Amino acid sequence: MDLTTQYMGLELKHPVLASASPLSKTLAGIKRLEDGGASAIVLLSLFEEQLAHDSLALDYFLSVGTDSYNEALSYFPEASSYEVGPDKYLDLISGAKSNCTVPIIASLNGISRGGWTDYATLIEQAGADGIELNMYYLPTNTSITGAEIEQRYLDTLSDVLAAVKIPVAIKLSPYFSSTANIASQMAREGARGLVLFNRFYQPDFDLEKLEVVPSLELSRSYDMRLPLHWAAILYGHVPVDMAITSGVHTHLDVLKCMMAGASVVEIASELLHNGPGRAQEIVDAMASWMAEFEYESVRQMQGSMSQIKCPDPSAFERANYMKVLQSFQTAAIR
Amino acid sequence: MRRQVTIDGNEATTYVAYRTNEVMTIYPITPSSTMGELADAWQAVGEKNLWGTVPLVQEMQSEGGAAGAVHGALQAGALTTTFTASQGLLLMIPNMFKIAGELTSTVFHVAARCIATHALSIFGDHSDIMAARSTGWAILFSDSVQEAMDFALISQSATLRARVPFIHAFDGFRTSHEVRKIEELTIDDIRAMIPQEQIHAHRSRALSPDRPVMRGSAQNPDVFFQAREACNSYYSAVPGIVEEEMNKFAAITGRQYHLFDYFGAPDAQKVIILMGSGAETVEETSAILNEAGDSTGVVVGRLFRPFSVEHLLKALPASVRSIAVLDRTKEPGAVGEPMYQDVITAISEGLSAGTAPFTSMPKVIGGRYGLSSKEFTPAMVKAIYDELGKAKPINHFSVGITDDVTHLSLPVDATFSIEPPDVVRAIFWGLGSDGTVGANKNSIKIIGEETPNYAQGYFVYDSKKSGSMTVSHLRFGPRPIRSPYLIQSSNFVAVHQYEFLDRYPVLDTAAEGAIVLLNSPFDKDSVWATLPRPIQQIVIDRKLKLFVIDALEVARKTGMGGRINGIMQTCFFALSNVMPRDEAIERIKYAIKKSYGKRGEKVVQQNYRAVDETLENLYEVTTPFQITSDRELTASALVGASDFVRNVTAEIIAGRGDNLPVSAMPVDGTFPTGTAAWEKRNIAVDVPVWEEDLCIQCGKCVLVCPHSVIRAKVATPAALENAPEGFKTAPAKWREFGDSRYTLQVAVEDCTGCTLCVEVCPAKDKSHAGRKALNMAPQRPLRETGARDWDYFLGLKDIESSSQLIRFNTIKNAQLLQPLFEFSGACSGCGETPYIKLVTQLFGDRTVIANATGCSSIYGGNLPTTPYTRNSAGRGPAWANSLFEDNAEFGLGIRISLDMQTEFANQLLASQRDTVGAELADSILNANQSDDAGIAAQRERIESLKKALTARDTPEARDLLALVDLLARKTVWIIGGDGWAYDIGYGGLDHVLASGKKVKVLVLDTEVYSNTGGQASKSTSRGAVAKFAAGGKASAKKDLGMMAMAYRNVYVAQIAVGADDAQTLKAIREAEAYDGPAIVIAYSHCIAHGIDMSKGLSQQKLAVDSGAWMLYRYDPRRAEEGKNPLQIDSKAGSIPLADYLYSEMRYQMLRQSNPDAAAVLLEFAREDVANRWQEYSTKAAPWPEPAAAQ
């Protein structure tokens, strides 16, 4: 059984990757993910904001109250150095490269143009096999247009591509006016992978305290529908490898993703729930299913259910939406 | 080639001490703490000494402990030192006698500081050194930062040769904290001075079981005396040895010192003799006077003990006719101060022996100067020389003050100045929080180390921990700067806070033509009209050049918040022409990179941006300089203030304390309370505003306010009839108060803007969740109405603690009580003061407070004012601070004294029962004073008794009258921080708790020495970074509560108001009510934790929720009821420990500086918490019912 696949130009032994999660925060965790069977590992994101925040917080708290009162001109001893830059993350990359055989994909989550390119260069120098750009940008400013946001994404991608030679994937938001168009532009710009999709932070409310509280729910299989849908639509139209993330929990989920046209899946919630060894279990179950249904390879099925290859292309379009609504009404009447 | 470095005296000293010792035992005390901190920091990064080993730096529990450990380390042969000052040196004295008696080589480096007498003072004088002069130690005095480095080495080399231990002393603050450009000794210089064979000899005398001896014997009358004399030859040799070492040092470095150095005219007739930093001022002034034709000189004493008569006489010119000997100390009752007496004796001996350079006794007068860092200026020096020229000069004079009582002070011509014209003399007025001092320290380094110029910096701070003002005095010039006094005439003045123009004499020192740089919210065209009239007048009269920048706006735009330091520093370089602009900016950026680089690139870039955007926002004011303003400088209204407040307190507040004469001061250090209310510092940018419609009247804001600026009262509608327009009230939500109204008011002029009240407020607008019953709003527009409303509010009647209407066992009720602790200078958002305030609300009218030295004694008792105050009946806490180490004993003494006198009063009353009336006497003698109502009733009876006694007017009646107030119950609260309770005062605290006496102890536990700048105490938790624990504290926090519980008869509680305010109130009330000793340990968030102080209460909750800080009460009374005395009031960790720890920089910075160590210590810390819970849970298990037990 040939489970191999290609993603971002990287040859992988199977399509199940470990997605960016707390599991890839330490070298020991990365090793567990490799031992658990992941074919490549996307590291936990390097957050430019976090680095800036750490740096400013350190400076603030070491400075506050100093040189104000003559018995206490400072409140802390100065250490010879602090881990406030990307060094720890870069060490993690080089450590992972030295200790693992699977490809290591760094994840970069940034806000400023300078930050993206500087860190991308450092990540490449540290030995990463690829970079996943996580463009987590939530436009709350009412004066910014959709076109401006798209241009910002493209500019950032362009900057990073100019700075590094390793393949770059981009993790997209599902909330573009024209997802197909922006995906296509990304591919034209030189992205080697599209990761579908980013899961936005959506806070919750505490009704008694009248407070907004941070909340992060792990994904469920249902969450896969949206990326599955878009992978099927984009496949064959956009010349780029696709990864589906969000909601991939079982071998059946993986098979669906492959058939929609994804090259790989990135799994996090399932591994967090059931341990890194779950990756190999999914791959094994997938192989069994493929044997049972007489598939020879993953590549054979990739895109088989995409819009351009499926028996009913309208199933991915508005007509299908109408059908769904009608079926709901029918069910309700019954 | 030796490096030129710009450092302060503490660093200069430690540089040598660290390299020439193997063991350092340390304990923090101002102004010497920095030396221990540097040593600890250097050893933490593996810095090596002369012999290639990393010295061992050991923090001790007190200076007494440090001295004991030094003694032991020396006995075992290690080269050992310590650093201290003031009371610390006094605590070392017993060991110092021993160390000297055993002829042991060591040097103690002392930043000489005032000893507490009528008051504590952290500032410099020689009273500590003089108190130690009989210990048998050699005393070598440095005059300056350079000498501090040089003499640290000379004393070290001399002690090894002489075997006599040395105190190396220099002036606290003036030298210890003055930054100067000096020549750094090289390692080779140091090595060349330290004799290897003497080190071997030192080691050979060590105790060793391989060559056993005994030391420290007890001796009898037969031989002790002879044995004491046996050391004489060693002392005789010391002056010669020091002289030789000075000569050797001169051969190496080119700097020649003598035991007594003479400077001045070879034929001087008038000579001043002194030691310490003031000597440079005299040298400078003498030279100027001689240039003008006078004939003066100065003898600078270096080696004070052993006192070499021979060397002093050799230093004096034969021409001398009159001598003034200056002592920076006071020895009441002595013939004269120590140096004066020694000089008189020396000259007398010299004349008798024929070794004096003159044949007749010159006039010798003694004088005192510079106590507690009082300025010692060239004008004062001139006054002394002038006095020496008189036929009958004043002996035992003082200079620098006005003594209008004993008329001993010399008149000083304040206009006399010798500031050289080629020196840049810049004064910067800033806030502590705006970073002014830090930037100026950088400027000194830039100029001192990057240009051929010499540099000097000295920094003056006020005594407040919130809204503090700083004044930086910087001098730069082509020649070495030797002016150890504040700038008298400045050619550059920077005012970093516009508001200072109205409050402080910022331009008083401005010389003609000086540049004035003002940080102003007004632009160059409009600023002139906004200046107060006196400022405009000075600008015009002295032809000043005025420049403005809106630095706060530049800081805001560049993300620097309120830190305008780099911006103002850039302006200084641009305007002062100390160096070319572009080069200056390059150097500033280099300094930024050096200072902040390791904190991250983002910080560096932000600072760069601020610098880059500065100059385009800097403008010269070119509007015509004419008087257009009629606004005078702000003066407090002082309506209703006492004469003392008006004439003394207000003058100190206004910065004119130096002008107060001796007659203005209390003779015994006794001051009135209730004075903080007169300060009206107006330091808050934003203050809370009450929304009466939303308020649920819970009282939490009143409880947590660290400065007692937010208060509640309930008043009848009739009482509110004359309320000012807009005075807010709401129907009182108490059944007991009927139709009365509740009002919550804010003292906007006293508020520090900490926002704790807003944070704790639970009431939110249901239509606008971001709006609470308290919201912050700009203070300036609220100032006048706020002050008016506050004054009216104060006039409303306070509820009395004896009221029977409500019980004060809930926060809501208790917070109607008047706080008798208000407007302290504690940090904005202080975590300690709410506890003190609560104690004063509940029991303040009957409390005597014994307060350990530390933060609480500074915000509680540092002049100009005290926050302790009185109620309308004139009662309130009586407060005193004895020492750091003895506070529990001090409190116990107060307790037993009150008990004894009460007993005597009872006895007197019983004996006069029939004459004062049996019914009255019996009701007093048998009174139930277990609650406030009982105490109030007793006070009324005492008033009747007073009348009866006054009417009788017999000797017995007068005896009783003198004690009669003691018949009403009095409470003693012993208050202090963890440095006191866990460390230096623990032995005494333990003893006092064991005494069974009815004392109440409040430990304000910040888990660190907060007042001296964050050194680790035994309360510091494992894994926290603190000074003296730079690598994270490796051991667990001491469990003080458990230790106290071991006595079984001590009430013990651990509280955290931010986590459970009801438990806090309950514990404090139970502690007070318990008929025996009680200790309450209160979690106090602190600026030294590295937290956002506005979130202090949340941090307390995190500490409790994580299990790191347990809440419990141990009440021995429960045991009498067959119940387990221990009740745990919090739950085991509901959040991970790491969530609490890493929300505070004290823990987080270890994770950032040494993550591996942080991970290990976190695991240990988890174990600490788990183990503690296990122990407490086991101990708190319910006791079996008596029947079940059978």
B772 — phi, psi (to 5°)? -110, -175
Task: Reply yes or no: is the peptide bond before residue B420 cis, omega within 30 of 0.
Answer: no
Closest CA to B681 of B791, B780, B823: B823
Residues of B in contact with A61 (CB under 8 A): 1090-1091, 1145, 1149
For the domain B1007-1185, what is the CATH code? 3.40.50.970
Residues of B identified as active-site: 30, 63, 113, 1011
Q: How many CB atoms lie within 10 A of CB B558?
A: 21
Residues of A in contact with B42 (CB under 8 A): none
Residue B212 CA neighbour count, 13 Å, CB half: 1
Mean predicted lDDT score pLDDT of chain A: 90
DSSP annotation string for B349-393: HHHHHT-SSSSSPPEEEEEEE-GGG----HHHHHHHHHHHTSSSP
At residue A211, the 3 state secondary structure works out as strand
**Taking CB atoms and an 8 Å limit, are B602 and A52 in contact across chains?**
yes
As a whole number of angstroms, the distance between CA B685 and CA B240 comes to: 62
In angstroms, how far is the first alpha carbon of chain A from the final one?
46
Domains B4-252 and B259-399 in one fold: yes
In the CATH hierarchy, which top-level class contains the domain B424-620? Answer: alpha beta
Category of B149 on φ-ψ map: left (φ > 0), alpha (ψ -120 to 50) or beta: alpha
Check the CA dihedral B908-B913-B914-B915 and report its sign: positive
As a whole number of angstroms, the distance between CA B298 and CA B261 comes to: 8
- Mean pLDDT of the B641-647 span: 95
B1094 — phi, psi (to 5°)? -75, -10
- Give the best residue of B593, B603, B1092 to mutate against chain A (max A CB count within 10 A): B603
In angstroms, how far is the first alpha carbon of chain B from the final one?
87
The confidence score (pLDDT) of residue A79 equals 87
Amino acid present at B478? P
Long-range contact set of residues B208-217: C-beta below 8 Å, sequence gap at least 24: B208/B77, B215/B75, B215/B102, B216/B98, B216/B102
Amino acid present at B6? T
Tell me whether strands A211-213 and A168-172 are parallel, antiparallel or unpaired.
Answer: unpaired
- Mean pLDDT of the B1048-1060 span: 98
**Taking CB atoms and an 8 Å limit, are B1030 and A79 in contact across chains?**
yes
pLDDT band at A334 (very low <50, low <70, confident <90, very high): very low
B774 — phi, psi (to 5°)? -130, 130
Give percent above pLDDT 70 in chain A: 94
The confidence score (pLDDT) of residue A320 equals 64
Closest CA to A206 of A196, A215, A198: A215
Q: Nearest by CB to B1153, from A63, A64, A82: name it.
A: A82
As a whole number of angstroms, the distance between CA A211 and CA A204 comes to: 9
Residue B727, both tokens: 């005075």
- The ipTM (two decimal places) reads 0.93
The confidence score (pLDDT) of residue A333 equals 47
Q: Does B1153 lie at the interface with A, CB-CB under 8 angstroms? A: yes
pLDDT band at A136 (very low <50, low <70, confident <90, very high): confident
Residues in Cβ contact with B574 at an 8 Å cutoff, skipping those fewer than 6 apart: B581, B584, B614, B615, B618
Q: How far is CA A332 from CA A201, A222, A326, A328, B353, in A?
A: 33, 21, 10, 6, 125
Q: Using H for helix, E for strand and C for coil, what is the string for B114-174?
A: CCCCCCCCCCCCCHHHHHCCCCCCEEEECCCHHHHHHHHHHHHHHHHHHCCCEEEEEECCC
- B472 neighbors B440 (Cβ within 8 angstroms): yes
How close A157 comes to chain B (CA, Å)? Answer: 22
To the nearest 10°, report the CA torsion of B659, B662, B664, B670: 120
Q: Does B769 lie at the interface with A, CB-CB under 8 angstroms? A: yes
- Give the best residue of A58, A91, A210 to mutate against chain B (max B CB count within 10 A): A58
For the domain B4-252, what is the CATH code? 3.40.50.970
Q: Helix, strand, coil proportions of chain B in percent (round to 5)?
A: 40, 15, 40
pLDDT band at A141 (very low <50, low <70, confident <90, very high): confident
Taking only the tens place, the pLDDT of each residue in B946-970 is 999 999 889 999 999 999 999 999 9
Residues of B in contact with A73 (CB under 8 A): 34, 437, 1013
Taking only the tens place, the pLDDT of each residue in B493-506 is 999 999 899 888 99
To the nearest 10°, report the CA torsion of B762, B767, B770, B776: -80
Give percent above pLDDT 70 in chain B: 100
- Mean pLDDT of the A125-143 span: 89
Tell me whether strands B545-549 and B619-620 are parallel, antiparallel or unpaired.
Answer: antiparallel
| Chain A CA closest to residue B772 | A210
**Taking CB atoms and an 8 Å limit, are B1155 and A63 in contact across chains?**
no
DSSP 8-state code for residue B646: I
Q: Which fold has domain B259-399?
A: Rossmann fold (3.40.50)
Residues of A in contact with B1026 (CB under 8 A): 76-77
Residue B1182 has pLDDT above 60, yes or no: yes
Q: Does B1025 lie at the interface with A, CB-CB under 8 angstroms? A: yes
As a whole number of angstroms, the distance between CA B940 and CA B960 comes to: 16
Q: Does B1077 lie at the interface with A, CB-CB under 8 angstroms? A: no
Q: How many CB atoms lie within 10 A of CB B1012?
A: 26
- B1072 neighbors B842 (Cβ within 8 angstroms): yes
Residues in Cβ contact with A72 at an 8 Å cutoff, skipping those fewer than 6 apart: A65, B1010, B1011, B1012, B1013, B1014, B1088
* Residues on chain A bordering chain B, Cβ-to-Cβ distance under 8 angstroms: 51-52, 54-59, 61-85, 88, 210-211
Q: Does B1147 lie at the interface with A, CB-CB under 8 angstroms? A: no
**Taking CB atoms and an 8 Å limit, are A55 and B600 in contact across chains?**
yes
pLDDT band at A323 (very low <50, low <70, confident <90, very high): low
Q: Nearest by CB to A73, from B563, B1013, B1155: name it.
A: B1013
**Taking CB atoms and an 8 Å limit, are A76 and B598 in contact across chains?**
no
pLDDT band at B975 (very low <50, low <70, confident <90, very high): very high
Residues of A in contact with B764 (CB under 8 A): 210
Residue B552 has pLDDT above 50, yes or no: yes
Taking only the tens place, the pLDDT of each residue in B841-867 is 999 999 999 999 999 999 999 999 999
Mean predicted lDDT score pLDDT of chain B: 96
Q: At what angle do helices B9-19 and B33-44 cross, to 10 degrees?
A: 50
Q: Using H for helix, E for strand and C for coil, what is the string for B566-609?
A: HHHHHHHHHHHCCCCHHHHHHHHHHHHHHHHHHHCHHHHHHHHH
Q: Does B881 lie at the interface with A, CB-CB under 8 angstroms? A: no
pLDDT band at A324 (very low <50, low <70, confident <90, very high): low
Q: How many CB atoms lie within 10 A of CB A113?
A: 14
Closest CA to A241 of A170, A189, A179: A170
Residue boundaries of the structural domains of chain A = 5-303
Taking only the tens place, the pLDDT of each residue in B886-942 is 999 999 999 999 999 999 999 999 999 999 999 999 999 999 999 999 999 999 999
Residue A5 has pLDDT above 90, yes or no: yes
Closest CA to B477 of B681, B284, B259, B219: B284
**Taking CB atoms and an 8 Å limit, are B468 and A69 in contact across chains?**
yes
Taking only the tens place, the pLDDT of each residue in B227-250 is 999 999 999 999 999 999 999 999
The confidence score (pLDDT) of residue A219 equals 81
Residues of A in contact with B1146 (CB under 8 A): 76
Taking only the tens place, the pLDDT of each residue in B313-343 is 999 999 999 999 999 999 999 999 999 999 9
Burial letters B230-260, b for 16+ CB under 10 A, else e: ebeebbeebbebbbebbeebeebbeeebbbb
**In this structure, which CATH number among 3.90.1260.10, 3.10.180.10, 3.20.20.70, 3.50.50.60 belongs to the domain A5-303?**
3.20.20.70
Q: Nearest by CB to B600, from A74, A76, A85: name it.
A: A85
The confidence score (pLDDT) of residue B1189 equals 46
**Taking CB atoms and an 8 Å limit, are A67 and B441 in contact across chains?**
yes
Residues in Cβ contact with B221 at an 8 Å cutoff, skipping those fewer than 6 apart: none
**In this structure, which CATH number among 3.40.50.150, 3.30.70.20, 3.40.50.720, 3.40.50.80 belongs to the domain B673-811?**
3.30.70.20
Type and span of the H or E element at A152? helix A146-163
Residues of A in contact with B30 (CB under 8 A): 70-71
pTM: 0.94
Residues in Cβ contact with B1153 at an 8 Å cutoff, skipping those fewer than 6 apart: A79, A80, A81, A82, A83, B1025
DSSP 8-state code for residue B1009: B
Taking only the tens place, the pLDDT of each residue in B812-821 is 999 999 999 9
Residue B150 has pLDDT above 80, yes or no: yes
Q: Nearest by CB to A55, from B37, B468, B602: name it.
A: B602
In the block, which residue shows the tokens 């008149």?
A: B411
The confidence score (pLDDT) of residue A223 equals 87
| Chain B CA closest to residue A86 | B600
Give percent above pLDDT 90 in chain A: 65
- Mean pLDDT of the A270-282 span: 95
Residue A329 has pLDDT above 60, yes or no: no
Residue boundaries of the structural domains of chain B = 4-252, 259-399, 424-620, 673-811, 889-967, 1007-1185
Residue B48, both tokens: 């090596």
Q: How far is CA B10 from CA A106, B149, B255, in A?
A: 48, 9, 20
Q: How many CB atoms lie within 10 A of CB B1062?
A: 12
In the block, which residue shows the tokens 């090289």?
A: B186
Taking only the tens place, the pLDDT of each residue in A59-96 is 999 999 999 999 999 999 988 889 888 988 999 999 99
**Taking CB atoms and an 8 Å limit, are A61 and B1091 in contact across chains?**
yes
**Taking CB atoms and an 8 Å limit, are B598 and A80 in contact across chains?**
yes
Residue B754, both tokens: 């900490």
As a whole number of angstroms, the distance between CA B1041 and CA B1043 comes to: 5
Q: Does B986 lie at the interface with A, CB-CB under 8 angstroms? A: no
Residue A87 CA neighbour count, 13 Å, CB half: 13
Strands (DSSP E) contained in B785-927 are 847-851, 878-880
- Give the best residue of A69, A83, A213 to mutate against chain B (max B CB count within 10 A): A69
DSSP annotation string for B524-565: TTTHHHHS-HHHHHHHHHTT-EEEEE-HHHHHHHTT-TT--H
Residues of B in contact with A86 (CB under 8 A): none
